[in-house]
Amino acid sequence: MGRITLTNIDRAYNKLKVLHDINLDIEDGEFMVLVGPSGCGKSTLLRLIAGLDKPSAGSIEIDGTDVTTVTAAERGLAMVFQSYALYPHMSVRKNLAFGLENQHMPKAEIEERIREAARMLEITDYLDRRPGQLSGGQKQRVAIGRAVVRNPTAFLLDEPLSNLDAELRISTRAELAALHNRLKTTMIYVTHDQVEAMTLADRIVVMRAGRIEQIGRPLDLYNAPANLFVAGFIGAPRMNLLSAKIVSVQGSSVTLEGPGGLTATVSADTASLKVGDDVTVGIRPHDITSIDAAASGEDHLDAEVTLVEALGPETVVHATIAGGLPLLAVLAGQPVAEEARTVRFRLNHEKLHLFDANGERVAAG
Amino acid sequence: MSRVLAFLTRRRGGKGWHWTDIVTWAWLVGGLIVMFGPALWLVFSSFKTPAALAEFPPTLLPVATQTVMVEGYDKPLELYRATTDDGETRTLAQIRRVGIIAQMVDPRDPGTVYKININDRVPVRSVDFATENYVEPMEKNDFTLYLRNSVFVTAIATIITLLTNSMAAFALSKYSFRGRDAVMLLIVATLMVPLPVLLVPLYSVVSTVGLFDTLWGVILPTVATPTGVFLLRQYMLTIPDELIDAARMDHASEWQIYWRIILPLAAPALAVLAIFSVVWRWNDFLWPLVVLSSKENYTLQVGLNTYAGELNVQWHFILAMTVVTMIPVVLVFTFLQRYITSGIAGSGLK
Amino acid sequence: MSSGNATSSRIGAAFAAPVTLAASLLNVPLKAWQKLTGNNGMAAFFLAPNMAIFGVFVLVPLVMNFVYSMTSGSGIFLGDRNFVGTGQYARLLECPNYLNPRGCREDLFWTAVHNTVLFVVLQVAFMTVVSMITALILNRRIPARGFWRAVFFFPVLLSPVVVGLIWRWILQRQGLLNFVLFETGFEPVDWLLDRDWAFAATIAVSVWAHMGFYTLILLAGLQAIPKDLYEAAEMDGTRPARVFWRITLPLLTPNLLVVIVLSLIRAVQIFDEAYVLTGGGPGTSTLYLTQYIYEVGFASLLRNPGLAAAASILMGAVLAGLTLIQLQMGRRGERKGKR
């Protein structure tokens, strides 16, 4: 129940293709998040799954049944819209009942479902109010309630938190996670916020320009991004990406030289690499420490500090490497770091990421 | 081209024809015929001669029988395709008709006279625009006079309307004074008093001030439009007060503020009101009908109605004059309708 | 592009020069006035022309109308008339059976009232339905919607005289409509010479001439309904008929009410196009209230301005009621919008 498979999905408007060959397999009961920048096609994909739009090519299956030509109403899915789309002239109760009435469900059962959903979402007190009388957070819960009463095969959520203020967003995020744990129904969630993706998802699909960049569990995406785009998109603050050149290749590792005096020897699949190749080294700000200026060896570089932000438990250091390249480091505690001074930074060797000239991750050797 | 076709055949059901699509296109095409058709029919009819107008069934385009000059005859003779006794069909010119026999000659060989039964001949016709329908009323001074009167009334009324309405709207939007609400209420109240309710006393008021049977008597009662004042006031409320304060700091007099700042900034709303006013005043009928009594002062609408009310209606002139009366509005429609429709939608359904 | 602009701006400048000169000249006395009376005085100045015209041509006649309605005689100036109190009203309302105009003392008045009431009910109902259907159709995803919208709006701009004449020409015994009927095998009808058909014609022509305006209002209302409500309804498995009755119509109701009230107000005043189309005939079958007032007040030989004034006051009362309703709706709409 709730297994959704997309095969070779294309979507084009006249000559403009917005989705290219999407293949996706969503497990039953999974919380899958589609994340990506504006215009990447994530909302379009969600609407294709919902049935509100038809693919130009490819097929969609729900629990093994091909539903590509089945209308939205008959797919048994429920959608929570970004703007909530509550019927403004009906009470909350009627909003919840509307879809069930369409299925000619007996009144007693409708009442029961509404009561249950209202209790779950804590909206029992507003059942007789109109949407115009509710706050943003309350409207959002009603929108979720409308989806819940239908006992759908899967929930589709289109940026449901983007219209809420910051504090409400955090608490609603927790409520959504709790709801998923309780109902154990498949949820497909679209957002542009990678924090929501990281915290809510069982698996994340990172999309860009109509293509899937990577699918995986949140920590897998964090620890082993498949390309430069995912590396820069997932994780805040952004990963530092430094251009480097390969200076020697040995067996299952390469040695490279980078800006600020950086040299590093990294375990890598050397099959496609040779001396002189351009590569990109990635290191997350949290994986950098500062060391004594006199220390020598690999995995360190020098940079001039431009701004120090002391937050208490950690210190954010903005620096510039020779040549104007920016470096961001988040150092634990309160190390002394003065502006306009050159500091030697050590990059955690275990956490170095290597990307080839095409931006693809280089596997370990 | 295929893109145009795809565009035209966009449908609700995607690939198949849904019944709502059929209804939609039927309604739209039907609407096109019903809305434009009558006006088009008017135009075509206006170019027909009285004889062609009397025909039933009528032809779509104005047609007239072709004529030809034949040697030996002074006037042009009408051409027919006739079947002669020997069974042949020739193109002949008719000299005269006596009873059911028409005397006809071949234009190229006028010596022989054929006697053809009128049932055996069919006129040779071609499209011919009887422009004299338009020219004659112009020459009979009345019509140009009516035209001049209508133009005068429309233009002057619009100018006065724009001026007085904008001044009042300025006062009501940017000044606060005791009694402002009372004035607003008064203006709103006049919305409830349409012309038929004022007809009788208005007539005597206009006569008393000596404006009976004058064009100014037509103009003045119509210019203080409450709709216009509201429209302009609504727009002027969106002009920031700081602009006016800055101008006052710059030693501008209130009149200068009105003339140099408010009016130019309110130009879009003024344009919409101007269009409305032109259409309203050009189309006014009941009031000019009541106030004007001498023919020289008639506006187009009243003059048209008078001609159409005569015992012996000369449709070919009336149709032509109706088309001329229709032209300014059609021009407004073609070039400016987008402003009108956005003006209506924007004014909040006044 | 630039040369066109240069010419038009030069023409504009030529017109503008004397106008701006006049405005600057006016500034001198007005500045003095402003110094003398301050901003309030200036506000009074700006209001003066408009209010003067209102006063002379609307308010004074309005008051006078009440006075007229209480006088009798055939002179047009109040001085030549006699005061009769409520005599004219009594005369108008003297009716053994209000449903039978011919039995009333002023049978012409009651005929006009009956005709007008019937006209108003039928025309408003018919026009509302037609406008609604057209608005629904224009709201769909059709190409060149602006063009189709303009198509239905075209007759709204035509002068009523032109409208009346066009249709008089088409509805003649030998006119276009009969030709089409004849060709399609139907019997031609003498539209304007048959009492009932002439009445129907005034309704149909009036709907033809005005529906575009109301279609615009309804279309604006339809387009204000958020699209995702329809998508939510689609996800809810709602059938199209139910979508219309439970979602579209309730949300369109405010606009619908405005359309109905506005068209009621206009329909009660029907005159121009009907007068040109049928002149009130055949007989009195298309005689409406405004024409009655016009004829009894001025045109007929047996004119009776007092009676006409009384009739117009009665008509005005009905219209005032309708306009009040319209204004109330407008104010309620504003309050709702502010939330």
Contact A148, A183 (CB under 8 A): yes
How far is C-alpha C262 from the chain's CA centre? 8
Residues of A in contact with C238 (CB under 8 A): 73, 98-99, 102
CB contact under 8 A, B301 and C159: yes
Give backbone dihedrals phi and psi of B37, rounded to 5 degrees, phi first: -50, -55
A362 occurs within a structural domain: no
What count of CB pairs under 8 Å joins B to C? 290
pLDDT tens, chain A, 365 aa long: 789 999 999 999 888 999 999 999 999 999 999 999 998 999 999 999 998 888 999 999 999 999 998 888 888 899 998 888 888 888 999 999 988 888 888 999 999 999 999 999 999 999 999 999 999 889 999 999 999 999 999 999 999 998 888 888 998 999 999 999 999 999 999 999 989 999 999 999 999 999 999 999 999 999 999 999 999 999 989 999 999 999 999 888 899 999 988 889 988 888 888 898 899 999 999 999 988 777 778 888 998 999 999 999 999 999 999 888 999 999 998 887 677 788 889 999 989 999 999 989 988 87
Same domain? For A180 and A287 the reply is no
Q: Rounded to a whole number, what is the distance in Å from the CA of C134 to chain A's nearest CA? A: 24
Q: Distance (Å, rounded) from C-alpha C182 to C-alpha C198?
A: 19
Residues of B in contact with C51 (CB under 8 A): 168, 183, 186, 224
Which of C133, C272, C319 minimises the CB distance to B194? Answer: C319
Same domain? For B114 and B168 the reply is no
**Nearest residue of C to residue A155, measured between CA atoms:** C235
Same domain? For C311 and C191 the reply is yes
C92 occurs within a structural domain: no
Instruction: Check residue C98 and give left, alpha or beta (phi > 0: left; psi -120 to 50: alpha).
Output: alpha
Task: Please tell me which chains touch C, using 3 or more CB pairs under 8 Å as the contact test.
Answer: A, B
B56 occurs within a structural domain: no
Q: Distance (Å, rounded) from C-alpha B48 to C-alpha B66?
A: 14
Residues of A in contact with C235 (CB under 8 A): 50, 52, 72-73, 77-79, 99
Same domain? For A252 and A204 the reply is no
Residues of C in contact with A150 (CB under 8 A): 236
**Nearest residue of B to residue C22, measured between CA atoms:** B259
**Nearest residue of C to residue A75, measured between CA atoms:** C235
CB contact under 8 A, A73 and C236: yes
* Secondary structure letter of residue A362 according to DSSP: P
Q: What would the mean pLDDT of C263-267 be, rounded to a whole number? A: 91
B338-342, C125-129, C207-211: least confident range: B338-342
pLDDT for position C16: 73
Residues of C in contact with B170 (CB under 8 A): 46
A197 occurs within a structural domain: yes
Q: Is residue C326 pLDDT above 70, yes or no?
A: yes
Contacts of B119 (CB under 8 A, 6+ apart): B100
B218 occurs within a structural domain: yes
- Tokens in use for C20? 């701006």
Contact A62, A6 (CB under 8 A): no
Long-range contacts of B78-85 (CB under 8 A, 24+ apart): B78/B123, B79/B107, B79/B123, B79/B124, B80/B104, B80/B116, B80/B121, B80/B122, B80/B123, B80/B124, B81/B121, B81/B122, B81/B124, B82/B114, B82/B116, B82/B120, B82/B121, B82/B122, B83/B116, B83/B120, B83/B121, B84/B114, B84/B116
pLDDT for position C190: 85
Same domain? For B107 and B226 the reply is no
CB contact under 8 A, B193 and C279: no
Q: Distance (Å, rounded) from C-alpha B153 to C-alpha B219?
A: 6
**Nearest residue of A to residue C247, measured between CA atoms:** A87
Same domain? For B276 and B162 the reply is yes
Same domain? For A209 and A253 the reply is no
Same domain? For C205 and C326 the reply is yes
pLDDT for position B2: 52
Give the mutation candidate from A89, A90, A105, A158 for the C interface (greatest C CB count, under 10 A): A89
Quote the number of domains for chain C.
2
Same domain? For C323 and C230 the reply is yes
As for the ipTM of the complex, it is: 0.83
Q: Is A72 at the interface with chain C, CB within 8 A?
A: yes
Question: Which CA distances in Å does B101 have to A270, B98, B116, C147?
Answer: 111, 5, 6, 54
Residues of A in contact with C141 (CB under 8 A): none
Q: Which of A288, A282, A263, A284 is nearest to A360 (CA)?
A: A282
pLDDT for position B347: 54
> Looking at chain C from residue 8 to 27, which residues have their Cβ under 8 Å from any Cβ of chain B?
23, 26-27
Residues of B in contact with C165 (CB under 8 A): 42, 304, 308, 318-319, 322
**Which contiguous run of DSSP H or E holds residue A304?**
strand A300-310
Amino acid at A137: G
Q: Rounded to a whole number, what is the distance in Å from the CA of C339 to chain A's nearest CA? A: 8
Same domain? For B6 and B123 the reply is no
Q: Distance (Å, rounded) from C-alpha B140 to C-alpha C262?
A: 42
Same domain? For A136 and A254 the reply is no
- Which of the listed residues A213, A233, A253 is the one where a domain comes to its end? A233
Contact B93, B79 (CB under 8 A): yes
Cβ atoms within 10 Å, residue B5: 8
Same domain? For A8 and A109 the reply is yes
Same domain? For B221 and B79 the reply is no
Q: Distance (Å, rounded) from C-alpha B260 to C-alpha C19?
A: 12
Same domain? For A55 and A150 the reply is yes
| CATH number of residue C134's parent domain | 1.10.3720.10
- Tokens in use for A145? 């309630």
Q: Rounded to a whole number, what is the distance in Å from the CA of C249 to chain A's nearest CA? A: 11
Q: Distance (Å, rounded) from C-alpha A97 to C-alpha A90?
A: 10
CB contact under 8 A, C234 and A73: yes
Residues of C in contact with A77 (CB under 8 A): 235
Same domain? For B112 and B164 the reply is no
C88 occurs within a structural domain: no
CB contact under 8 A, A102 and C237: yes
A176 occurs within a structural domain: yes
A363 occurs within a structural domain: no
Q: Is C284 at the interface with chain B, CB within 8 A?
A: no
Residues of A in contact with C226 (CB under 8 A): 83, 85
Q: Is residue C337 pLDDT above 90, yes or no?
A: no
Q: Is C335 at the interface with chain A, CB within 8 A?
A: no
Question: Which CA distances in Å does C49 have to A165, B255, C60?
Answer: 53, 14, 15
Residues of B in contact with C73 (CB under 8 A): none
Q: Which of A117, A125, A82, A124 is nearest to A100 (CA)?
A: A117
Q: Distance (Å, rounded) from C-alpha C153 to C-alpha B35?
A: 8
B49 occurs within a structural domain: no
- Cβ density class B87-116: b for 16+ within 10 Å, e for less: eeebebbbbeeeeeebebbbbeeeeeebeb
How far is C-alpha B234 from the chain's CA centre? 30
Q: Distance (Å, rounded) from C-alpha B97 to C-alpha B117?
A: 10
A361 occurs within a structural domain: no
Q: Is A135 at the interface with chain C, CB within 8 A?
A: no
CB neighbour class for A38 (10 Å; exposed up to 12, middle 13-18, buried from 19): exposed
pLDDT tens, chain B, 350 aa long: 555 554 455 444 455 678 888 899 999 999 999 999 998 888 888 888 887 787 777 777 877 788 888 887 888 888 888 887 777 888 888 888 888 888 888 888 777 788 888 787 888 888 878 887 888 777 776 788 888 999 999 999 999 999 999 999 999 998 888 888 888 888 877 777 888 888 888 988 898 888 999 999 999 999 988 889 988 998 999 888 888 888 887 778 888 889 888 888 898 899 889 988 999 999 999 999 999 988 889 999 998 888 888 767 788 888 888 888 888 888 888 887 777 766 666 554 43
pLDDT for position C338: 40
Same domain? For A127 and A174 the reply is yes
Residues of A in contact with C246 (CB under 8 A): 98
CB contact under 8 A, C238 and A102: yes
Q: Rounded to a whole number, what is the distance in Å from the CA of C103 to chain B's nearest CA? A: 26
Q: Distance (Å, rounded) from C-alpha B290 to C-alpha B200?
A: 9
Same domain? For C50 and C114 the reply is no
Same domain? For B121 and B193 the reply is no
C79 occurs within a structural domain: no
**Rounded (10°) angle between helices B267-283 and B315-346:** 150
Same domain? For C285 and C331 the reply is yes
CB contact under 8 A, C162 and B201: no
Q: Is residue C339 pLDDT above 60, yes or no?
A: no
Which of C234, C238, C339 minimises the CB distance to A132? Answer: C339
**Nearest residue of C to residue B34, measured between CA atoms:** C208
Q: Residue B199: how many CA atoms within 13 Å on its side-chain side? A: 34
Give the mutation candidate from C141, C228, C235, C244 for the A interface (greatest A CB count, under 10 A): C235
CB contact under 8 A, B322 and C137: no
Same domain? For C327 and C231 the reply is yes
Which of A88, A89, A102 minimises the CB distance to C236? Answer: A102
Same domain? For C42 and C118 the reply is no
Contact A185, A2 (CB under 8 A): yes
CB contact under 8 A, A79 and C235: yes
| CATH number of residue A248's parent domain | 2.40.50.140
Question: Which CA distances in Å does B341 have to B67, B345, C39, C219, C259?
Answer: 49, 6, 37, 11, 16
Same domain? For A225 and A263 the reply is no
| Alpha-helical segments (H) within A281-327 | none
Q: Distance (Å, rounded) from C-alpha B5 to C-alpha C70?
A: 69
Residue A254: domain span: 240-355
Residue C120: domain span: 99-338
Q: Is residue C332 pLDDT above 90, yes or no?
A: no
Q: Distance (Å, rounded) from C-alpha A20 to C-alpha A58?
A: 10
Q: Distance (Å, rounded) from C-alpha A48 to C-alpha A55?
A: 6
Q: Rounded to a whole number, what is the distance in Å from the CA of B97 to chain C's nearest CA? A: 26
Contact C54, B186 (CB under 8 A): yes
What is this structure's pTM? 0.79
- Which of the listed residues C24, C51, C68 is the one where a domain comes to its end? C68
pLDDT for position C142: 83
What count of CB pairs under 8 Å joins A to C? 55
CB contact under 8 A, C65 and B27: no
CB contact under 8 A, A85 and C226: yes
Same domain? For A260 and A202 the reply is no
Residue B341: domain span: 134-347
CB contact under 8 A, B197 and C216: no
Same domain? For A226 and A247 the reply is no
pLDDT for position C184: 86
CB contact under 8 A, C234 and A102: no
The 3-state DSSP class for residue A55 equals coil
pLDDT for position B343: 66
Greater confidence (C175 vs A78) lies with A78
CB contact under 8 A, A79 and C231: yes
- Which of the listed residues B102, B127, B152 is the one where a domain comes to its end? B127
